[in-house]
Structure 1
Amino acid sequence: MNILYVILTSICSIVALFVLTKLMGNRQLSQMSMFDYINGITIGSIAAEFATNLENPLHSFTAMVVYALAAIGISLCTCHSIKLRKFFNGQPLVLYSHNKLYKKNLACAKMDINEFLTQCRIAGYFDLNQLESAILETNGQVSFLPLAEQRPITASDLGVTLQPEVLPYYVVLDGKLIDANLQASGRDEKWLEKELHALGMTQLSDIFFAAIDTKGKLYAIPMLEEKRQHNCFE
């Protein structure tokens, strides 16, 4: 009987976590503030307690709701108050600028020079002379501003006018037609059949993925069941 009770409370905790997460907003770990991270760990721990607490599961559930409401309240406050936003989320921190490394700011960021250089290399900067500035953002990521002569040339630099980019339309996923996307693209099934036939494909079930690209052309990837034997990462 206790096993069944644990199963039921576990299912309830999963449902509760899902609902509370949707209310709080599901952001990636790298986008979380310190409060979001702490709150997420705490709610997860309470959810586990809720699933296994056979005597007073309601207490754990109430605590989960309180933490979630606190997160929602703080999120609303930070949206409307700059001072509270700075208090809960912090401020960006300049680590490097104009060929100067700021040791105190690195210390505030709990980051040593080796870790900073690692972050530079991950971003593609192996030479600090390529950088104008490096800033620690409030989500824990380091953003980099390259020197003007190191940044890629853009169309505006060359005086070239480009056509606006548009999002591609995914029209076939896992062998199934996404009819709403096909209609939104301004095409119909006859057009799709014609394009697929030109690519040597006749059955939707044989297509793993197909999309209409930004130029209005269809590209498709066939469904392959066999497993690739060679793994170049081994």
Structure 2
Amino acid sequence: MQETLYVISKSLALFCIAWLSVRLIGKRNITQVKPFNFLSYIILAVVVALMSLDLISLSSGFVVLITWVALPIGLDYLAIKSQAIHQFINGKETVLIKHGKIMEENLIQVRMTGEDLLAELRSKGIFNLAEVEFAIMESNGNINAYLKSDKKPMTAHDLGKKVAPQAEPQTVIMDGNILAEPLSSLGLNQEWLKTELDKMGISLENVFLCQVDSSGELFLDLFNDAVEIPQPKVKELLYANLEKIQADLLAFSLQTENKNAKGMYVKNYQKLDRLLNKLRPYLLN
């Protein structure tokens, strides 16, 4: 029993050391880990396992750990300082498609077939090779593609339209439980959230997930998928109310014979028209 507790406690301590070592080497997605760093992770895992099983001494194991933590950190530092060292350690990008034409020699160089290339493009949402102007394999193995000018999606900038800046939506309900911190970060409270749910006729217990965007609109996913969720129209209703006020001002100006009153109505109509022009990208897009 005592030996078992010793092994468990030592394994926990070594786990913490291994976790700290990995954090020191760098915080990256496993698909973006550099080859040398990936090798370091494997060696660290093997050494920690051997130390845990007493197959190597702790002193020897710590020397290996320190070495394989220091090496990636040192090489990363040198790679930052020198482009030549960076390319030597991490490799360099490879052009796979140029001016719409596949570079077969480069495909062979990175050991890819045409099917591999098509599969990678499909994973990026590109199913027609004729749409691709340029594609490159980065040093971490990721493939990025640039579409031809006439195949790129149209944006608001292309149309010369202004759009409202969007902040990250906050998840405020998860598994029927209200998350207070994200809600307060939006300047809202639980009473507001419950009122909005009541307007939709939805109980809190039936909400699997709820997000609130920067304009205060809700996205809901319910446990009961048979329930139809009314679509929020907060911004559209606000814009419609402002338009109604503007129409009322115009009507009042046409109905009155008083020049002062007519001038006041027309002046406020014009002010509201300028305001609507500014708000239109925020409320209708």
Asked if these proteins are the same fold (TM beyond 0.5), I'd say: yes
Q: What displacement does 1:214 show?
A: 3.7
Q: Equivalent residue for 2:212? A: 212
Q: Deviations over 1:96-145 (max 9, x none)?
A: 11233223322221223332232233333343222111100111011111
Structure 1's unaligned 5+ residue stretches are: 225-234
TM-score normalised according to structure 2 size: 0.69
SS of the residue 1:210 aligns to: strand
Q: Equivalent residue for 1:26? A: 27
Q: Equivalent residue for 1:179? A: 180
Q: Residue 47 of structure 1 contacts residue 61 of structure 1 at CA under 8 Å; is this kept in 2?
A: no
TM-score normalised according to structure 1 size: 0.82
Q: Which amino acid aligns with 2:143?
A: V
Q: Which amino acid aligns with 2:28?
A: R
SS of the residue 1:13 aligns to: helix
Distance across 1 between alignment mates of 2:29 and 2:137: 17
Aligned-residue CA RMSD in angstroms?
A: 2.4
Q: Which structure has the highest helix share of the two?
A: 2
Distance across 2 between alignment mates of 1:162 and 1:29: 36
Q: Equivalent residue for 1:39? A: 40
Structure-to-structure mapping, 1:8-27, within 5 angstroms: 8-27=9-28
SS of the residue 1:208 aligns to: strand
Structure-to-structure mapping, 1:112-191, within 5 angstroms: 112-191=113-192
Q: What displacement does 1:185 show?
A: 0.5
Count of residue pairs the alignment pairs up: 223
Q: Which has the larger radius of gyration?
A: 2
Q: Per the alignment, do residues 112 and 59 of structure 1 end up closer, same or farther by CA in structure 2, a change over 3 Å counting? A: same
Q: Equivalent residue for 1:104? A: 105
Distance across 1 between alignment mates of 2:66 and 2:200: 54
Q: Per the alignment, do residues 216 and 99 of structure 1 end up closer, same or farther by CA in structure 2, a change over 3 Å counting? A: same
SS of the residue 1:125 aligns to: coil
